[in-house]
Structure 1
Amino acid sequence: MGRYNYTESEQEMLKVQKMQEEQLKELENSIKEDRRDGENDAKELADLRKRTEALLKECGITPPPKKTEMYVEPKKKISKDEIPSWKELADEANEKYPEDIALEDLLTKEEFQFCIDEVKRINDEFSQKTGIFNKKDMSFLAIATALQTARWLIIQSLCGDLGQTIDGNSRLAHNAKSIKDEVNSSNKWFQKKFESHGHCESTRSYKSWEQIIFSSAPYDTTVGSPNLGINLEGRYHRYKTLGHDPVLGWIFGTANFITDTCTLSDFSSYNIARHPTPHFSEPTNLGTIFYEVFDSTKEDWLRLPAGIFAQAVHMKSDVFTKLGLPVPVLGTFSESLAGDLYKSQYDSLCLLKDIAIVGQQASWSILINMIVGLVHGIFYNPKTDGDRKLYEVRTRKILCISNALASAGNIAYAAATENWKKLDVGGILVTLYRLFTDINFMTRMKKEFIEHEMDKVLEKEIKELNSYFE
C-alpha cells in the first residue's frame, strides 16, 4: 500500500507506465543479448581472419588490408499510425495488472528523493521570484497599509460609528400635523388624477379605489387583537406587522389595504372590521387575501394601483417618525431580534445609514487598492523583475497583506475600546474578498510556474522522442 491515494485515471497512468517499464526492460535485455551474440560473432570472425591471413602468407599471397569503415544503419522513422491509442494501452495495462499500482512500485528511493528535491527547488525558485522582501515592495506595503489604516480612521471621524440609533429631535411624532396634511394632499392628488374613472362601487363588497386610498392603514389597528391572543405591543406594533416592513410591505401592505386585512410577521392574517371602529375580527389566510386582491382588481383595475399608492403614502408618513420603520425582512426570521432592535431605536433609516457607511468603507478601500496596484505596476522592470505574471503575484501579495494588516488593526482597536460599532465592516469585507481571490490567483500562478519548469525539464526528451516519428 503506497503513501498516496490515486484517482482512476492516475491508476491507469501508473499501470501503463509499469507495463512500458517492463517492456523497456525486456527490450534492454534483448539488446544486451544481441550485443553479446554480436561480440561473440566478431571474435569468431577476427579469429577466422587471423587464420586466413596466416594461410595466405604461407602461400605467398598478401592479404587485403582491413576496412576501417563501419556501416551505420540510418535511423528508422516510425509512423504515428503505429502508435497505439491511450485506450488500447490502458485496456492492456488493466488486463495485465488487475491490482492497484503505487508510485513506490515504479520509483526507487533515489528517484523519489530526486523528485522531492526538484519540487523543492521549483518552489524555492517561485518564492524567490515572487517574494516581496525587497526595498521597493516593502515600501509599497508600508504605504498601502498606512493608507488603509488612515482610511478607516478618517471615515469613522467623518461618518460616525456604525449602529447609530434614531435621533428623536430630528424626527416627527406619528400624528404630527405636517404628516397628516401631506397624506391628505397626496390622496386628493390621486383622487383628482383618476376622477374621470368614477367611483366604481363594488358588487362583491370590496373596497372601491377611493376607499382604499382614504381609509386608514388596516395594519395600524391594534384594537381587538388581545381577544385573538395577539400581543401587538401597542406603539411597537410596526415590527410585528408585515405592512410596515420596508420591503415586504410593498406586497403584504398593498394586499392589506385592498382587502382590509392585517398580516403579521409570522404570516398569520386577520380581517379588520371597520364598524364601529377598526378592530380585529377573525382570522383569515394569505391564499384568501391574494385571491380577493385578484378578484377585486379584476372588478376594477384601479384598485391595485390605489393599493400600491396607499402603501407608499403610508410608509412615507411613517419612515421619518420617532419610531420609524423596522429593519426589513428580519422580523420574519427572528421577531425577537427585530423587536429588540426596534425598541432600541434602530430602524430602517439607521440600517440605510449603516449600509451607506459600509459602502463608503468598501469603495474607498477598493480605490486605494486600485491606486497602489496601478502605481506598483508602473514600477515594473522586465530586466530585474522577470515575468510580468510573477510580478503581479508580488502586487497582489502587497495588497492582500496590507488589507489584512489594516483590518487586523481595526479589529484590535474595536476590541481594545470594547466598541464594536467602530468596526471597519466594508474594509473587512474587501479584505476577505482579496484573501479569497488573491490566494486563488497566486495558487494558479504557482501551478503554471511549476508546470512550466517541469516542461523545461522534459522538453529535451520530448524533442528527441519526436525525432523518431515521421
Structure 2
Amino acid sequence: MFSKSSEIKGEIMTLEELEKRHRELSARVDENFEEIEKVADESMRVAEVAEKTPTIIKDLNREFESITKLTSTDVAFLFVATAMQIVRQYLLTQFPERMDDQEAAKGTKGHNEEHSDRKHRYYKPSVEEIICNPVPFDANRGADGALSGGGKMGHRVTALGHDPVIGLAVGTCNIATSTLTTNKLQSYHIFTDQDKRDAFRNKASTIKIFEESGDKILNQGMEGKIIMGTSLVKEIIHLKSDIHTKHSLPLPAVSMIDGKLASKLASYGLDMSNVASVTKQATMSILINTIIAMIHGLFAPEEMSGDLYEVRTRRILSYSNVIASSSNLIYVGANLAGGNESALKSLDIGGLIVTCYRVATDSKFIQAAKQEFIEKKYFEQIRGEAE
C-alpha cells in the first residue's frame, strides 16, 4: 500500500501524482508497441516488394512500353516523316551529273563569257580586267613544271586558288593581282600571250601578293575595296562552277600537304563534289527530322511527362529514318545487280549516316528514360507511395 506520499528520486510525490505518472508511462509503452508493430509491418511489406522485384520490374517495363508505344497519331507522323525522307532522297539530294569545265561554267549563275586581255600591270589589274579575264590560276601555258605533281587532277591540286577553303583567301588575292600561287607557295605573274590566252610570265613574290591585296583594302579607298570584293565574288563563282565537274575540287588543305595524296583521294571518290552532296543529304535529312520533332511536340498530352513523350518522338524519327535508308539501299542494290550503274547517284550516304546516328542516340535516350521510369516507380513501391 502506498502512503500519502513517497520519495521518488529525492522528490516527495502524492499518490495522485504517482498514478498520473503510471498512466503516462503506460501510454508511452502502448505507443512504442504500436510503432514497433508499424515498423514490423513495413519491414514485412518491403520484404514482400523485394521478393517480387523481378515480377515488378517486368510489369513496370510493360507499363513503360504501353505508355510510350506509338498511337494512331504517331503512326501518321511516321508515314509523313518516311515519305518526306524518300522524296528528299530521289528528288532533292541525288548526286549530280559530272560535267566538263565549259559546260559547268555556263550553268553557273554569275558566270560571264571571258577572254584573256591583261594589261600587264604587276599586282594592279583594274576592276574591268578582273571581271572580263579568266581567273589567273587556271593558266597552264608556260608553266614549265610549276604545276606538276597534281596527278589526274592537274592544276586543280597544284594551284591553291582551287582549294575550297584556302582558295577563298589565296585565290581571291591571285585574282586581285593577276597572279597564280602553287601549293608549294611559289607565285607567278600571269599575262596574255599572242594567242590571247593566259600564260605564265615570270615569278612573283607571294608575300607581296598579300601585301598588295591588304593595301587595296586599307589604303586604296573605295576602288581598292571594290577590287577585292569583285575578286572574292569571282573566286566563289569559279569554285562553284568547278565543284561538280568531272575532276571537281580537292579536299580542303590536303593539296598543301601532298598534291598526289589529294589527287589519289579524289580518285577514290573523296572530292568536294561528293563531300558537298553527302553534306547536303545529311543536312536535309536532319532538317526533316527537326521539323517532324517540332510539330509532333505540339501534340503532347498535358498529363504526360516530357521525357516519356519524347520517347515516342524519337521512335518516330528512328523508325522513319531506318525505313527510308533501308528502302534506298534495297533500291540501289537491286539496280546495281541489274547492271544499272546510274542508280549510284541515288545512294543516300548522308541520310544513312544520320540514320546510324539517330538509332544510336535515340536508343540510348529511350533506354535511359525507361531506366528512370522503372526506378522511380519501383522506389515509390518501396516507400509505399504506389497503390
Short-chain TM bin:
0.5 to 0.7
Q: Given the alignment, which residue of 162, 165, 168 partners 2:95?
A: 162
CA 412–238 in structure 1, closer or farther in 2 if over 3 Å, else same: same
Paired residues of 1:245 and 1:329 also in contact (CA < 8 A): yes
* Structure 1 residue 406: Cα displacement: 3.4
1:71 aligned counterpart, secondary structure: helix
Q: Which residue of 1 aligns with 2:5?
A: none
Determine which of 325, 348, 355 is the counterpart of 1:424. 348
Q: Provide TM-score, normalisation by structure 1.
A: 0.51
For structure 1, the residue ranges without an aligned partner over 5 or more in a row are: 1-48, 50-66, 76-110, 188-201, 462-470
| 316, 323, 332: which one aligns with 2:253 | 332
Report the 3-state secondary structure (helix = DSSP H, G, I; strand = E; otherwise coil) of the residue aligned with 2:188.
strand
For residues 250 and 168 of structure 1, the distance between their equivalents in structure 2, rounded to whole angstroms, comes to 20
Query: Structure 1: which amino acid aligns with 2:331?
Result: Y
SS at match of 1:279: strand
1:281 aligns to 2:202 (yes or no): yes
Equivalent residues of 1:249, 1:311 under 8 A apart: no
Residue in 1 aligned with 2:12? Answer: none
- Residue 398 and residue 154 in structure 1: after superposition, are their counterparts in 2 closer, same or farther (change >3 A)? closer
Could you tell me which of 146, 151, 166 is aligned with 2:84? 151
Alignment map for 1:219-298 (pairs within 5 Å): 219-228=137-146, 230=148, 237-264=155-182, 266=183, 268-272=185-189, 274=191, 278-279=199-200, 281-282=202-203, 285=206, 287=207, 289-295=209-215
Q: 2:220 aligns with which of 276, 290, 300?
A: 300
Matched, 1:448 2:372: yes
- The TM-score, its normalising length taken from structure 2, stands at 0.60
The alignment partner of 2:70 has SS state of: helix
CA gap 1:310/1:345 in 2 versus in 1, 3 angstroms: farther
CA distance in structure 1 between the aligned counterparts of 2:201 and 2:253, rounded to whole angstroms: 21
Secondary structure of the residue aligned to 2:253 is helix
Change (3 A) 1:348 1:113: same
Cα distance in 2 for residues equivalent to 1:283 and 1:139: 70
Residue of structure 1 equivalent to 2:135: 217
Whether the 8 Å CA contact 2:173–2:210 is kept in 1: the answer is yes
Residues of 2 paired with 1:116 and 1:408: CA distance?
Answer: 45
Correspondence for 2:340: none
Corresponding residue of 1:310: 231
Quote the residue 1:128 is aligned against: 62
Shift of 1:310: 3.3
Q: Are residues 336 and 153 of structure 1, via their aligned partners in 2, closer, same or farther at CA, if it must alter by over 3 Å?
A: farther
Q: Shift in Å at residue 160 of structure 1?
A: 7.0
Change (3 A) 1:234 1:400: closer
Q: Which residue pairs with 1:6 in the alignment?
A: none
Which one-letter code corresponds to 2:200 in the other structure?
H
**SS where residue 94 of structure 2 aligns?**
coil
SS at the partner of 1:131?
helix
RMSD: 5.3
Name the CA shift for 1:239/1:113 in 2 (closer, same or farther; >3 Å): farther
How many aligned positions are there?
332
Residue in 1 that maps onto 2:25: 71
Q: What amino acid does structure 2 have at the position aligned with 1:421?
A: K
User: If you compute each CA radius of gyration, which structure gives the higher value, 1 or 2?
Assistant: 1
Deviations, residues 328-373 of structure 1 (Å, cap 9, x unaligned): 6615326557657989999978876765555444434544455556
| Deviations 1:165-207 (CA, angstroms, capped at 9, x unpaired) | 2388965679xxx9336999xx9xxxxxxxxxxxxxx9xx652
Distance 1:151 1:369 in 2: 13
| Alpha-carbon displacement from aligned partner over 1:5-27 (angstroms, at most 9, x marks no partner) | xxxxxxxxxxxxxxxxxxxxxxx
Partner Cα distance (1:74, 1:452) in 2: 37
| Counterpart pick for 2:321 among 399, 403, 416 | 403
How many percent of aligned residue pairs carry the same amino acid? 24
Task: Indicate conservation of the 8 Å contact 1:131/1:394, yes or no.
Answer: no
1:176-187 matched pairs, under 5 angstroms: 179-180=112-113
Residues 297 and 247 (structure 1 numbering): CA distance in 2 closer, same or farther, change over 3 Å? Answer: same
State the alpha-carbon separation in 1 of the partners of residues 382 and 48 from structure 2: 18
> 1:400, CA displacement in angstroms?
2.7
Cα distance change of structure 1 residues 391 and 215 upon mapping to structure 2, 3 Å threshold: closer
Tell me, in whole angstroms, the C-alpha distance in 2 between the residues paired with 1:360 and 1:449.
34
Q: Find the aligned partners of 2:332 and 2:284 in 1 and give their Cα distance.
A: 19
Residues 446 and 421 of structure 1: CA distance in aligned 2, closer, same or farther (over 3 Å): same
Q: For the structure 1 residues 317 and 373, does the alpha-carbon distance in structure 2 shift closer, same or farther, using more than 3 Å as the test?
A: closer
Aligned-partner Cα distance in 2 for 1:364–1:410: 17
For 1:396 and 1:148, locate their aligned partners in 2 and report how far apart those are by CA, in whole Å: 12
Structure 1 residue 212: Cα displacement: 6.4
Deviation at 1:123, TM superposition (A): 3.9
Letter in 1 for 2:366: M
Question: How far has the Cα of 1:232 moved from its partner?
Answer: 6.0
Contact 1:224 1:280 in 2 (8 A): yes
Q: Distance in 2 between matches of 1:327 and 1:454?
A: 60
Residues 405 and 431 of structure 1, relative CA distance in 2, 3 Å threshold: same
Counterpart Cα distance in 1 of 2:313 and 2:252 = 44
